[in-house]
Structure 1
Amino acid sequence: MSDPIVRAMMADDLPMVLAWRNHWDVRRFMFTQHEIGLEEHRNWFSRSTNEATRRLLIVVDREAPIGFVQFDNVADAGASNWGFYADPNAARGTGKMLGFAALKYAFGELNLHKVCGQAVDFNTASIALHERLGFVREGVLREQQRLQGAYRSLVCFGLLRSNWNQSMKPVGEPS
């Protein structure tokens, strides 16, 4: 079985990524929760692809796209923020496969020192995934984001390259 690959997002991916992003199982955990239209999505893609320190990526397993990953503030040996979501109709375990592939790319291809992430306090699946991937909780931003009519806290995570290298195991191997 081959490892998933990570490739740059292309304009042809816009309808697929928009469908994933607008699916309620993804959108309810986003800071921007309205349903995004195609024009707004195209404008985001155009702006984002012109930012030298941002990477928009698609993770592909066996020729099928399984999710989207974004890295911001990318600099050689720097600290980058990431965001991600899997195809909401993907099989169980896809998130871990996507995360593993993206982090391998981040610490390899992008040569990052640290990857930082945040999860809304009620997104227990994302919190658990960060922890399974080796992230350390670095803090909580209390009542930081207003979502669905209430202020929610954000759980902050960090993963250093040195910790990733020590704990890295291919998908499917026991943790």
Structure 2
Amino acid sequence: MPEIFIRSMTEADLEMVLSWRNHPEVRRYMYTSHEIKLEEHQKWFALSNDNPDIALLIYEEDGKPKGFVNFTRSRSKKVADWGFYIAPGAAKGTGRRLGHSALSHAFSCLGLHKVCGQALGFNERSISFHLSLGFMEEGRLREQHFDGEEYQDVVCFGLLEKEWCSLSYE
């Protein structure tokens, strides 16, 4: 089992995270699927990093960055939306370990009551992933997102701290 660590993202991580985000297999599942330029990415980081309601995190295994996670508190200080992706080419099982580590961090270090997630309706892997981590499907926003060609459903998920703590992950 690799040594796992979650740390804050720094400016030194910008180009690495941008390369992951711009990879076609990551981009295709995002709300904004265009290729992001470095200047746009730098502006996003500066705004997000200065916002105390946003946690930008790097997931590491054995000292090597393997994924990105963010938690954004927009409704209340104890409820956050999460987003995540793993480094392209990461070994099988990396996503599951990232999910467990990030959610443990969210509830124990960030003190969250609830983590919310969303997946585009065609992204069956993300839907299954959320459910396997203990999230409950809380709704489906029909034809909510236009991807430039067609409208896509958005599936909404929620995971409460007490539900996470009742699972045998920790």
**Under TM normalisation by the shorter chain, which class is it?**
over 0.9
Give the corresponding residue for 1:40.
40
Residue segments in structure 2 that go unaligned for 5+ positions in a row: none
Give distance in 2, aligned partners of 1:91 and 1:128. 18
Q: Which amino acid aligns with 1:157?
A: F
**CA displacement at 1:168 relative to structure 2:** 3.4
Give distance in 2, aligned partners of 1:169 and 1:80. 20
Give the corresponding residue for 1:64.
64
Give distance in 1, aligned partners of 2:52 and 2:143. 32
**CA displacement at 1:160 relative to structure 2:** 0.4
**CA displacement at 1:31 relative to structure 2:** 0.7
Q: How do 1:20-169 residues align onto structure 2 when only pairs under 5 Å count?
A: 20-73=20-73, 78-169=78-169
CA contact (8 A) 2:3 2:63 kept: no
**CA displacement at 1:93 relative to structure 2:** 1.3
Give distance in 2, aligned partners of 1:3 and 1:100. 13
Moved over 4 A (4+): none
Give distance in 1, aligned partners of 2:160 and 2:73. 15
Residue segments in structure 1 that go unaligned for 5+ positions in a row: 171-175
Q: Which amino acid aligns with 1:158?
A: G
Give distance in 1, aligned partners of 2:69 and 2:5. 12
Percent identity (aligned): 49
Q: How do 1:12-27 residues align onto structure 2 when only pairs under 5 Å count?
A: 12-27=12-27
Q: Deviations over 1:48-86 (max 9, x none)?
A: 10111000000001111110000001765x111000001
Give the corresponding residue for 1:8.
8
Q: Structure 2-normalised TM-score?
A: 0.95
Matched position secondary structure for 1:33: coil
**CA displacement at 1:88 relative to structure 2:** 1.6
Matched position secondary structure for 2:155: strand
Per the alignment, do residues 25 and 100 of structure 1 end up closer, same or farther by CA in structure 2, a change over 3 Å counting?
same
Give distance in 1, aligned partners of 2:145 and 2:134. 25
Per the alignment, do residues 16 and 91 of structure 1 end up closer, same or farther by CA in structure 2, a change over 3 Å counting?
same
Matched position secondary structure for 1:56: strand
**CA displacement at 1:2 relative to structure 2:** 5.2
Give distance in 2, aligned partners of 1:96 and 1:129. 8
Q: Structure 1-normalised TM-score?
A: 0.93
Per the alignment, do residues 49 and 16 of structure 1 end up closer, same or farther by CA in structure 2, a change over 3 Å counting?
same
